[in-house]
Amino acid sequence: MTITRKLRTLTATSALLASTIWPLAGLTAAHADTQDVNVPQGVGDAVLNNATVFGTTPANTPVTVTIALNTVNTQALQSYIQQTTTPGSSNYHQFLSVEQFANQFGQPEVVIQAITNYLSQYGISTTVFANHLAITANGTAGQFNQAFSVQLQNMIFGGKKFHGTKEAPKMPGNLAQPILAVLGLTNYGNFASHAVKPLPQLVRAKSTSSTSVPPGELTPAFVASHYNVNPLYKANDYGQGQTIGIVTLASVNPSDVYSFWNTLGLTTSPNRINLVNVDGGAGPVSLQTGSDETTLDVEQSGALAPQANIIVYQAPNTDYGFADAFFQAVSDNQAGSISTSWGESEPAIQATIASGQESPNYNQVFNEIAMEAAAQGISMFAAAGDAGAYDASRDVGTTQRSVDAPADSPYITAAGGTTIAGTQNYGSFSVTVPQERAWGWDYLWPYWQQFGASSETSFAEALVAGGGGGYSSMYAAPWYQSSFNNSSTAMHQEQHASGLSQFSAVPYLKPISGNTAWLFNPTPSVITSSSPGRAMPDLAMNADPQTGYAVYSTLFTSAYGSPWAQYGGTSFVAPQLAGVAALINQSQGGRVGFWNPQIYQFAQTSNSPFTPLDASGTSNDNLYYTGQQGALFNPGTGLGIPDFAKLAASFTSAQNASGN
């Protein structure tokens, strides 16, 4: 629920704020008498070293910039989030309104006013997000050139045209202090969706069974049955009164989504989809920009919660666009659950930071948004990626083990992937997966000859796909993981008592040549090691394109010859979780908030709502990480596969035990 009272644990607010922010004297002046200093930005000047510049950006070119601001009282915010997820705490499931969040943890009005006054001197208009953590500024290239002492130029890099600046942006020193990052002076975007279509050589033989959803491998009805959502429906929890948020970087055609739901026989409101164009929107509907991603996000979440409303926050694929979509969704505070299926690898972020293309604060922008969501009781989900333990192989082409952002945030539930049990028919041969396992296409590698490959090595290196998982190199293990007893039995407690840092792995692919190539081992032995970072994913469901889902879009007709296509990827799991979260919120009579601390506690009970995938070896891996016998967590699949009816019951039991 959203409360309207003050924080129980944060009294004497004005004194607390005064002790934790810098002196405000002089901020009321539009341009204080302080020396100009550099302000951190998102994508910056070093991108020009590899970009082709084709002229100065005309002074009258419209430009949008987002100024992300630091949270105030960050430690108190972290503490409050923990309290909202701890049964017995006086703040358990007592969530903040946006106004309360802004008053306690956003920047003071005097800081906001000083920055907006400064920009207005140059004719730049501003919109302040309600959370007081971001300001969107709209003006022209000429106006921003003057305000930030830069020169915007037009350029092209990686096939994308954008504007950018060689000079580091500058502002008066006292105005720069509260700024976390300036996004949009260079509007290059590198985010990719996590939707995966089967490769042509892996297309399965068509089923001869009659279906209204050709090729129709799976629909959300499978999710409801396989992961035990149906008891929630029997209790009349269909998402009534709930709202789901989708944060995306590509536009959607709502009529395609309604056609999908109608084909499934779902009864839905004709006006349940609300499109919010953030920063002007994401442009025309197009497969090239990722509209298939947005389509499946809305189809899946809305099918699992057929009576919930859906708000689609569509933004341009830029650093400021992605951030603003989150800022808008969380500041609106209408959605009780939010999902995104876009991201980039941590090495991609680290490489751009090292080269000066991004600020070291850039990833923290998204982490702060996730923290606000948690404080307001919003459950956030993000796809964990589709390259197994090698997330960077998809965007920067390097071979080191890595994970995906923003799913790496300790305040977001990372959605991982599995392959469900069954026999896959490929015409002249078939492949059997005996039990649900971590999604990793290594189970297909031994069939390289049948698939027509020249060698197993070339086939394996072409099929580096699986559920994203591993350890963050940017975030330490959060409290709910460092205290986790990763054992289902007493005999294993000593082995697994150190949180989630210990793991088992099967090193098929050894990074070599400075992380530019792999050394392939077709018969790896199980090894053990450890890592101190935030472990992910947090849970997993079916995501393998070979056991994938039907998606409907009229865009597919010209591309595939039919409006129906079969897709997979952790892109499905994130919106599916957001849909189920809407059902659980309804069943509880209010928001349950940030899932992770709660589900990690539930997983350690005798009636856990998760089935750990603890088989060890090459029958259960995401191309590297595998299970440990008796362990409750596997870096390839997190806590395992969920039983959603039991999960809802776990939330009910915790709420009853808390007595709030």
Per-residue pLDDT of 66-120, as tens digits, reads 999 999 999 999 999 999 999 999 999 999 999 999 999 999 999 999 999 999 9
What pLDDT shows up at residue 489? Answer: 60
For the cut 60, the answer to whether the pLDDT of residue 548 exceeds it is yes
For the cut 60, the answer to whether the pLDDT of residue 252 exceeds it is yes
On whether the CB atoms of residues 573 and 415 are closer than 8 A, the answer is yes
For the cut 70, the answer to whether the pLDDT of residue 12 exceeds it is no
| Residues 418-453 pLDDT 10s | 999 999 999 899 999 999 999 999 999 999 999 999
DSSP secondary structure code for residue 169 in this structure: P
**The pair of three-digit structure tokens given for residue 59, joined into one six-digit string:** 């002074």
For the cut 60, the answer to whether the pLDDT of residue 645 exceeds it is yes
Q: How many angstroms separate the first and last alpha carbons of the chain?
A: 12
Average pLDDT score over residue span 483-509: 77
What pLDDT shows up at residue 4? Answer: 29
On whether the CB atoms of residues 283 and 220 are closer than 8 A, the answer is no
Average pLDDT score over residue span 172-200: 80
Q: How confident is the model at residue 455 (pLDDT cuts 50, 70, 90)?
A: very high
- Least confident interval from 151-160, 164-173, 352-361, 555-564: 352-361
Residue pointed to by tokens 């930030």: 148
Q: Where are the beta strands (DSSP E) in 308-387?
A: 309-314, 337-340, 342-345, 379-383
What pLDDT shows up at residue 553? Answer: 96
For the cut 70, the answer to whether the pLDDT of residue 45 exceeds it is no
Average pLDDT score over residue span 639-659: 95
For the cut 90, the answer to whether the pLDDT of residue 493 exceeds it is no
CA distance 404 to 392: 8
What pLDDT shows up at residue 201? Answer: 55
Average pLDDT score over residue span 221-241: 98
Tell me the CB-side half-sphere exposure of residue 455, using CA atoms within 13 A: 6
The domain locations on the chain are 13-188, 193-658
What pLDDT shows up at residue 433? Answer: 98
The pLDDT mean for the chain works out to 89
CA distance 129 to 113: 13
As a whole-number percent, the residues of the chain with pLDDT over 90 amount to 76
Closest alpha carbon to 336 in 580, 106, 644: 580
Q: How confident is the model at residue 349 (pLDDT cuts 50, 70, 90)?
A: confident
For the cut 70, the answer to whether the pLDDT of residue 124 exceeds it is yes
**What counts of helices (H) and strands (E) characterise the chain?**
21, 33
Q: How confident is the model at residue 212 (pLDDT cuts 50, 70, 90)?
A: low
| CATH superfamily of domain region 193-658 | Peptidase S8/S53 domain (3.40.50.200)
Q: Which residue has the higher pLDDT, 390 or 360?
A: 390
Alpha helices, DSSP H only, in 385-500? 392-395, 456-462, 479-482, 493-496
CA distance 248 to 282: 8
